[in-house]
Amino acid sequence: MKVKVPAEEDFKSAAHDERVTARLGLWLGICFGLCFVTGLLSHAIQHPPTWFYWPSRPVNLYRVTQGTHVISGVAAIPLLLAKLWSVYPKLFARPLAKSLVNLVERGSILLLSAAAFFELITGILNVAQNYAFPFFFPPVHYAVAWIAVGSILIHVAVKLPIVRRALKASTKGDERPGVLSRRGFLRSTGVVTGVAVVATAGATVPFLRRVSPLSWRTADLPVNRSALAAGMTRLDPGWRLKVITPGGTRQFSLDELNKLPQTTAELPIACVEGWSASATWTGVSIPDLLHAVGAAPGAEVRVESMERNSIYRVSVLPSPHTSDAKTLLALRLNGEVLNADHGYPCRIIAPSRPGVLQTKWVGTLEVLS
Amino acid sequence: MRWVLGVVGLAVLGYGALLAIDTKPVLETGFWFVGGTILHDVVLAPAVGVVGWLVVRVVPAVWRAPVAVGAAITGVLALLTLPELVRRYPAPVNPGLHERNYLLALGISVAVVWVLVVAVGVVRTARARVPAE
């Protein structure tokens, strides 16, 4: 049997109709838009510019924005595949370029497609903690997001007349042959996208916890860095929490921390890698602790872990969080003393923050301003 | 409107390129950048085409839509599971994350999908037999 490269005209099914393409493009654009905005937020929370403000309430805010980031990313996978199937015949258009403008346009689509696949592939690998790529994920995923969104904007600018025409055109009649009708293809894409979301979203959406078969979270409250990995399985019996203030340094034994007023709060851990889980945490609220050392709530607090070999061993609690009574130096989890994996002897747990900033095995707190 | 979009797009794109310029290793990252779209255009999309072609020729008309949707869901679920199944480095040992037999989870999910495909196909076949009034 001879296999020949198909020509653009060989693709006859209704999926390749521009009315299908425009609608899929719109849905995909919404998903990428959500991904981009929530991604920028997550980036800004972790690397805050001076003008940036992120509130500590509602406590689930970051959980929702980052959950949206990952869910819209998962939804974009079937949508991107459907969109590219819709325009796949154009890949075989000959000549390769009718004009310089046409060449630039085709090049920009290659760039768009490359950036889109790169974001979705690295993203889905990262939530699986499958670090197969040869680079450090966050800065590269962040940079290529700008490339993807820039080329989407250029693509929309180029195609706007066709998009307008396609969205306004009558959706009745002139059906083409094929497995699915135009509407059928769109509906089916919707179904596939819905299944992809339901199959994974249980990692962060509570009522889907027992539903999603492919969820990367497989317990009620996962641990993202174990005590073993961090080298924090044993605590020096003479351990003291050091609290550095502009006025001097105070030390607290675990016993003394337990004797300070205790606050209990229901707070989520919301990981940048797309899972989240709520639990009941008890400990000294940061405003109470600041009062105890003669500092004012609302001052920024630098949190330093006792673990040595992690780029995430230090975090800074911003002003809205250090004045929030639900920001805890937690000593207990669901009523029991923290275990080593959850950060014994004490950890930070603050509302509406990425999990990577909920520093465990805290050794030093430093009041900054 | 189009020009504004285009210029803003170019600026955003340029900023991204600026951010990406120092990424190391250059060559391997470049492969990763173009790899997805090339794999799609050369392997995945032709495979979809072949499956569609087979569905049209092998599957009876009333069964085509459910079978095609079932195949699409199977493919997408398999792609979503792949990062849990094939690892270059072992996953970090994190209690409560990735502790599942994902091949089994995928198998069960796909089985449920195809049970539904058969159910829809049977209903459509029955409906097609009833003469329209």
Nearest to A80, CA basis, from A50, A35, A49, A48: A35
Model pLDDT, residue B131:
67
Average pLDDT score over chain B: 94
Provide the shortest C-alpha distance from residue B133 to chain A (in Å): 23
Widest pairwise Cα distance in chain A: 85
| Residue ranges of chain A with per-residue pLDDT less than 50 | none
Q: Please determine, for residue B1, whether its predicted confidence score (pLDDT) is greater than 60.
A: yes
Q: Please determine, for residue B39, whether its predicted confidence score (pLDDT) is greater than 80.
A: yes
Listed by number, the residues of chain A in 207-266 with a beta carbon closer than 8 Å to a beta carbon of chain B are 213-226, 228-229
Model pLDDT, residue A332:
97
Structural domains of chain A, ranges and CATH numbers in brackets:
8-170+177-208 (1.20.950), 227-367 (3.90.420.10)
> For A132, which of B3, B23, B88 is closest by C-beta distance?
B88
Q: For A325, what's the count of Cα atoms within 13 Å in the CB-facing half-sphere?
A: 5
Residues of B in contact with A132 (CB under 8 A): 87-89
Whole-number Å distance between alpha carbons of A126 and A42: 15
Instruction: Note whether A109 and A158 are within 8 A (CB).
Output: no
Inspect the interface and report whether the beta carbons of A124 and B33 lie closer than 8 Å.
Answer: no
Inspect the interface and report whether the beta carbons of A213 and B72 lie closer than 8 Å.
Answer: no
Residues 6 or more apart from A337 whose CB is under 8 A from it? Answer: A331, A344
Inspect the interface and report whether the beta carbons of A226 and B102 lie closer than 8 Å.
Answer: no
Inspect the interface and report whether the beta carbons of A117 and B83 lie closer than 8 Å.
Answer: no
Residues of A in contact with B109 (CB under 8 A): 199, 213-214
**B49, burial (CB in 10 Å: exposed 0-12, middle 13-18, buried 19+):** middle
Q: What is the ipTM of this complex?
A: 0.95
Model pLDDT, residue A105:
86
Instruction: Note whether A115 and A144 are within 8 A (CB).
Output: yes
Inspect the interface and report whether the beta carbons of A143 and B6 lie closer than 8 Å.
Answer: no
B30: amino acid identity, one letter: G
State which H helix or E strand residue A311 sits in.
Answer: none
pTM metric for this prediction: 0.95
- Which DSSP symbol is given to A217? B
Angle of the B45-58 helix axis to the A61-87 helix axis, nearest 10: 60
How many other CB atoms are there within 10 angstroms of residue B25's CB atom? 10
Q: Report residue A214: phi and psi, to 5°.
A: -105, 10
Model pLDDT, residue A5:
84
Model pLDDT, residue B49:
93
Instruction: Note whether B36 and A118 are within 8 A (CB).
Output: yes
Nearest CA in chain B to A85: B45
Provide the shortest C-alpha distance from residue B89 to chain A (in Å): 7
